[in-house]
Chain A
Amino acid sequence: MGTISSALNLMSQAFDADQAALNVTANNVANASTPGYTEETPTWQENDSIQINGVSVGTGATETGATSQRDRVLEERLDQQQQLASASGSRLTALNSIQALFMPDSGSTSSTAGDIGSDITGFFQSFSSLEANPTNSALRESVLSTASTLATDISNAANGLNTQSTGLDQQAAGAVGQVNALTSAIAQLDTQIQSISPDADAGTLEDQRQLDLSQLSQLVGINQSSTENNGLAVTTTAGQLLVSNSSSFQLTTGSVAGVTQIFAGTANLTTQLASGGGSLGGDLTARDTDIPNTLASLDQLAYTISTRVNAQNNAGTGANGAAGTAIASSTTGAKTLDIFSPPPTLVANTASGGTDVSGAAAAMSAVMTDPNLVAAAASGQGTGDNSNAIAMASLTNQTIVNGQTPTTFFSNFVSTLGSTVSNVQTENTAQTASVSQLQSQNNAISSVNLNDEASALTTMERSYQAASQMFATLNTIMTSALNLGVDTAVT
């Protein structure tokens, strides 16, 4: 050691190391756009120095491999925020579809169709008009047509909500399949990582695992924790194991009362997944909370209007003297002067004194076809009487729907729905901003910066050149040594 040939040997090691480092740079540049790839930096190690005659002599450097640039804490934080953002994002998408069913009426068009608020007013006002001339058949016809508009718009809205619910249901079932595929992939990668690299960062394998985790985070809320040998345990935010000890636990779906529920083994996870996060959480929240709430309000409105209007009309007398009597063969509780079809739960409620209004909105329809059956006159009065029409019209001013008038109820309903959408929108904007900040931080650490690579390339090239120059110089020295001062023997 300490000889010219050992110096040459050091240089050949330097070539190897520089080439290895250049290889890392080349790999970084090649993968600059690969999803999930984290930038790698060459690891340099000084070789052990040796003592010769009490003098410490260096033995060069070796490139021992590449290290992925990652911050696990930051990555996990990004995943968590991603779960929240995609939950509120998918819920927002669903809510936007819901609110599209209740577009505000600008009031500039003459047609009232399509807006339930205007329909309610139009219907009750048709009775106000009837007060002026209770026997006028055009005014009677207008009662029937406004009733039909109201019923159609309410049932269309309810059916629209049901369709959206079905769509979300299918979306949720589809997401479960993706979750299972990702957890299997994570479990497989885990096995490889544990066997290949139990003590250190596993490079591209870990990149892939992280990519899968990040995709999983968009779908469902998860917690992750490191286990021995660089392994990973993944649970849902509520603690249900998804990946542990290199094996994955598959979620299954099943239909309960026509609604898709998600199980792990026999445990029903639907509720905890709904509040857990991810797009699955958002979809489930929309399906199980937002749509049922909206539908419940519509049902309440439809049930109350149908039953109160029918009751009041049956209490009066039609233009042909017809009185409201129960239809003999009816199992629905229908009566002769019904304007709307009786709500599906009417008979059960009448028997039990219950207040179940479910399905009333979807089933709402105007059944009366003969305008003479509109009971403008009170029971026993002549056809010129309008006191029942007054009673009908005044239903609109009575607090009949949950302690509110029908119009106030609808007004509060749209305000509440609008506020919910607006809140989720704000929440989503904040979460998305937070995700992009974290993403930016993470990119700063892990993303391939081409300018850095260019500079690394140049540095390494120069280093290689320097080593070459050094080698050439040593070669000259070696030549001189071999020739022992005679210039021409060896060149």
Chain B
Amino acid sequence: MRVDPNYISNLTGSLDQTQTTLQQLTAELSGGVRVTSLSTDPVAAGQNVLLLNQIQVDDSFTQSSNLVQGQLQVADSALGSVVSQLTQVVTLATSANNGTMNSSNVKSISSQIAGILGEVTTLANTSYQGQYIFAGGQTSTAPFSTSTATSPAVTTYSGDENINYLQMPNGGKIQLNVPGDQIFSGTGSNSVFAALNSLVADYATGTVNTTKAVADTNDLSTALNYVSQQRVTIDSSITQLTSASDAVSSEQTQLTAAQTTLMQADIPKISTQLTLAETQQTALESVIAQLGSSSNSLFSKL
């Protein structure tokens, strides 16, 4: 039987292959990445795109939620201050309504309430990073202004009813703002500013129309409760945001682990393969040296 006399060139081919394997393994080791091209593992490459997408989405939600958290906390503390200011007004009005005060004391209460009105207006015009947070979508102009042309004075709202949401990675939405008129200019007896302006007018002259003043005080108490109710919306957004942000962070950790497992090189495994390939290369080299030696040729024996 005849044999292929060019077996050494076939062995050289094997040596080339071994060197390619060595190169690939070294590249994986030095880069720490297993999937160095799409064809190495097409399914993993596709999966990687989806995982990286989700990780990025989570990452950007975490950043957004930090931004939004600041805004919601500013809104919450502003409403907290409003509640304590209004509680003070109710106390002042109740003492003025009991009929024991002289005219100058009543007038002083009127001006105290007017001062608080000013503060509440400032709180209602709270801004965060230059944006008015109780103005709906019209965040570039202060939403509340008071006109003293009439008595009682009238506070008007120039914002709109727009509500912004932050979309969570799972598709849910978190409310980011409550339009100012919902909080401060509610309908009927729910309007903070109407009640405050009426009370200022009620006590302005020093003589108290007790029936009206009591009714206005009651209105303010109702409005105060209403503000507290609106504050709950903001508080629940903060709670939702915190828990969503925690959930997203832990998801991100898991996804990153999954992505690492999918794409990163298994160092011990590659090292073992590398050792094997090196051994094979040495073996091939010595076989080639042995077979290629001229003393193996019949001509050398003649």
Residues of A within 8 A of B (CB): 95-96, 99-100, 102-108, 112, 115, 117-118, 120-122, 125-126, 128-129, 131-136, 377, 381-387, 390, 393-394, 397, 407-408, 410-412, 414-419, 421-422, 425, 436, 439-441, 443-445, 447-452, 454-455, 457-458
Contact with A along B136-160 (1 / 0, CB 8 A): 1111100000000000000000011
Given contact pairs A129-B60, A411-B46, A411-B49, A135 touches B131 in the complex (Cβ within 8 A): yes
- Closest chain A residue to B264, Cβ basis: A106
| Residue of B64, B176, B256 touching A128 (CB-CB under 8 A) | B64
Do the beta carbons of A382 and B140 come within 8 Å of each other? Answer: yes
Do the beta carbons of B136 and A384 come within 8 Å of each other? Answer: yes
Please indicate the chain B residues that have their CB under 8 angstroms from the CB of A436 in the complex: 10, 13
Please indicate the chain B residues that have their CB under 8 angstroms from the CB of A136 in the complex: 129
Do the beta carbons of B137 and A382 come within 8 Å of each other? Answer: yes
Do the beta carbons of A393 and B4 come within 8 Å of each other? Answer: no
Please indicate the chain B residues that have their CB under 8 angstroms from the CB of A449 in the complex: 2-3, 5
Q: Which of A128, A419, A421 has the most CB of B within 10 A?
A: A128
Top 8 nearest A-B pairs (CB, nearest first) are: A418-B42, A384-B139, A415-B46, A418-B38, A382-B137, A385-B137, A421-B39, A454-B298
Q: Which of A96, A108, A131, A440 has the most CB of B within 10 A?
A: A131
Do the beta carbons of A407 and B49 come within 8 Å of each other? Answer: yes
Please indicate the chain A residues that have their CB under 8 angstroms from the CB of B226 in the complex: none
Interface residues of B in 27-45 (CB under 8 A from A): 31-33, 35-45
In the bound complex, what is the Cα–Cα distance between A485 and B112 (angstroms)? Answer: 168
11 new A-B pairs (CB below 8 Å) besides A135-B131, A385-B136, A440-B10?
A104-B33, A107-B263, A108-B32, A117-B52, A132-B68, A383-B139, A384-B135, A384-B139, A408-B50, A447-B5, A455-B298
B293: shortest Cβ distance to chain A, in Å? Answer: 13
Do the beta carbons of A134 and B5 come within 8 Å of each other? Answer: no
Given contact pairs A104-B35, A440-B10, A449-B2, A382 touches B139 in the complex (Cβ within 8 A): yes
Do the beta carbons of A451 and B129 come within 8 Å of each other? Answer: no
Given contact pairs A382-B138, A382-B140, A421-B39, A105 touches B6 in the complex (Cβ within 8 A): no
- Closest chain A residue to B6, Cβ basis: A443
- Closest chain A residue to B13, Cβ basis: A436
Do the beta carbons of B164 and A387 come within 8 Å of each other? Answer: yes
Please indicate the chain A residues that have their CB under 8 angstroms from the CB of B140 in the complex: 135, 382-384
In the bound complex, what is the Cα–Cα distance between A454 and B302 (angstroms)? Answer: 8
Do the beta carbons of A450 and B42 come within 8 Å of each other? Answer: no
Contact with A along B149-179 (1 / 0, CB 8 A): 0000000000110101111000100001000
In the bound complex, what is the Cα–Cα distance between A483 and B281 (angstroms)? Answer: 74
Please indicate the chain B residues that have their CB under 8 angstroms from the CB of A377 in the complex: 137
Please indicate the chain A residues that have their CB under 8 angstroms from the CB of B160 in the complex: 381-382
Please indicate the chain A residues that have their CB under 8 angstroms from the CB of B32 in the complex: 106, 108
- Closest chain B residue to A377, Cβ basis: B137
Residue B19 at the chain A interface, CB threshold 8 Å: no
Do the beta carbons of A129 and B64 come within 8 Å of each other? Answer: yes
In the bound complex, what is the Cα–Cα distance between A96 and B24 (angstroms)? Answer: 15
In the bound complex, what is the Cα–Cα distance between A421 and B39 (angstroms)? Answer: 6
In the bound complex, what is the Cα–Cα distance between A131 and B61 (angstroms)? Answer: 10
Do the beta carbons of A451 and B10 come within 8 Å of each other? Answer: no
Please indicate the chain A residues that have their CB under 8 angstroms from the CB of B68 in the complex: 132-133
In the bound complex, what is the Cα–Cα distance between A106 and B66 (angstroms)? Answer: 27
Can you identify 22 A-B contacts, CB atoms within 8 angstroms?
Answer: A100-B37, A105-B48, A105-B52, A106-B264, A107-B263, A108-B33, A117-B49, A125-B56, A125-B60, A128-B61, A129-B60, A132-B64, A135-B130, A382-B135, A382-B137, A382-B140, A382-B159, A384-B136, A390-B167, A394-B167, A418-B37, A451-B297
In the bound complex, what is the Cα–Cα distance between A415 and B41 (angstroms)? Answer: 8
Do the beta carbons of B137 and A133 come within 8 Å of each other? Answer: no
Do the beta carbons of A418 and B46 come within 8 Å of each other? Answer: yes
Do the beta carbons of B57 and A128 come within 8 Å of each other? Answer: yes
Please indicate the chain A residues that have their CB under 8 angstroms from the CB of B65 in the complex: 132
A100: shortest Cβ distance to chain B, in Å? Answer: 7
In the bound complex, what is the Cα–Cα distance between A445 and B57 (angstroms)? Answer: 65
Do the beta carbons of B302 and A419 come within 8 Å of each other? Answer: no
Please indicate the chain A residues that have their CB under 8 angstroms from the CB of B71 in the complex: 132-133
Residue B108 at the chain A interface, CB threshold 8 Å: no
Please indicate the chain A residues that have their CB under 8 angstroms from the CB of B35 in the complex: 104
Q: Which of A106, A108, A385, A417 has the most CB of B within 10 A?
A: A106
Please indicate the chain B residues that have their CB under 8 angstroms from the CB of A393 in the complex: 167
